[in-house]
Amino acid sequence: MLVVVLALLLISADLRLNEMAVTRATLSNLALPFYWVVDMPSRVMGWGRETLLSRSTLLEENARLRAESLLLHGQVQQMAAQRAENIRLHALLNSTVLLQDDVLVAELIGIVPDPARHQVVLNKGSRDGVYVGQPLLDAAGLMGQVVEAGTHVSRVLLITDTTHAIPVQVNRNGLRAIAEGIGRLDSLELRHVASTADIRVGDLLVTSGLGQRFPAGYPVAVVEEVIRDPGQAFALVRATPSAALNRSRHVLLVYTKAVGQTE
């Protein structure tokens, strides 16, 4: 009771005379560290939640931007081929309708260890709509085609494999040829090109669309060497693949109606 009476007296004195202001301020300063300690767990939890959320958000945003960048690269690859084609067909066509292929973003998860076989393994399979013969691109050009589609993974034969050949055409003038792999990731050869053919170092080779396996207009390689022997009927033409076959990790699987896949 004495303590209660004393407390009431102090409260009355503080309300009427305001004599306890200094004491109350001093006590508030002394209590400040206790408030800070009590509030620390909440601050730590808030900081951790914000940090983890920010990191997760940044990772998701980074993955989304990477996928969007890859898609945009795939969409603009055909611009050079379409520009040249428009020039050649301008006199015949009043307008050009550009076909937009559907694509699936995939990730390279393995490489076939046999050095004589240029094959890679992707993290997409038949459950994702992958099918045998499906073209594969990276951000710079054609990489190869699917030769085996499992449920969860698929195997791709690169264009540089010795068993691979692809119909191409010179983007500058439409000259057609066959680009074959020679077992080197940095080189292709064009076989049976006439010595008098109009092909030059620096020419861009794009898919011709013949055979209905690869869509037309995608970059394949750039001519790096043309050897003409007067005693030979055909020139030896070497080209460097446009795609980064030994560096690309995220790639595009192209769906084309030409192969007759189901929707």
Q: Could you tell me if 65 and 104 lie in one domain? A: no
Judge whether 65 lies within some domain: yes
Across the range 164-191, mean pLDDT stands at: 94
User: DSSP characters for 202-246?
Assistant: TPEEEE--GGGSS-TT-EEEEEEEEE--TT-SEEEEEEEESS-TT
Which of the two residues, 183 and 58, has the higher pLDDT score?
183
Q: Please enumerate in sequence order all residues whose Cβ is within 8 A of that of 12, keeping only pairs 6 or more positions apart, or say none.
A: none
Q: Could you tell me if 167 and 64 lie in one domain? A: no
Q: Could you tell me if 175 and 256 lie in one domain? A: yes
CA separation for the pair 37, 47 (Å, rounded)? 15
Q: Could you tell me if 106 and 224 lie in one domain? A: yes
Domain that holds residue 172: 100-122+136-143+158-263
What torsion, rounded to 10 degrees, do the Cα atoms 159, 160, 162, 164 define?
Answer: 10
Which of the two residues, 106 and 72, has the higher pLDDT score?
106
Judge whether 91 lies within some domain: no
CA separation for the pair 164, 146 (Å, rounded)? 12
Q: Which residues pair with 238 in a beta bridge?
A: 189, 225
Q: Could you tell me if 262 and 175 lie in one domain? A: yes
Q: Could you tell me if 185 and 225 lie in one domain? A: yes
For the chain, how many structural domains are there in total? 2
| Summary count for the chain: helices (H), strands (E) | 3, 12
What is the model's pTM?
0.66
Q: Could you tell me if 62 and 110 lie in one domain? A: no
SS3 144: strand
Across the range 127-135, mean pLDDT stands at: 94
Domain with residue 173: its CATH number is 2.40.10.350
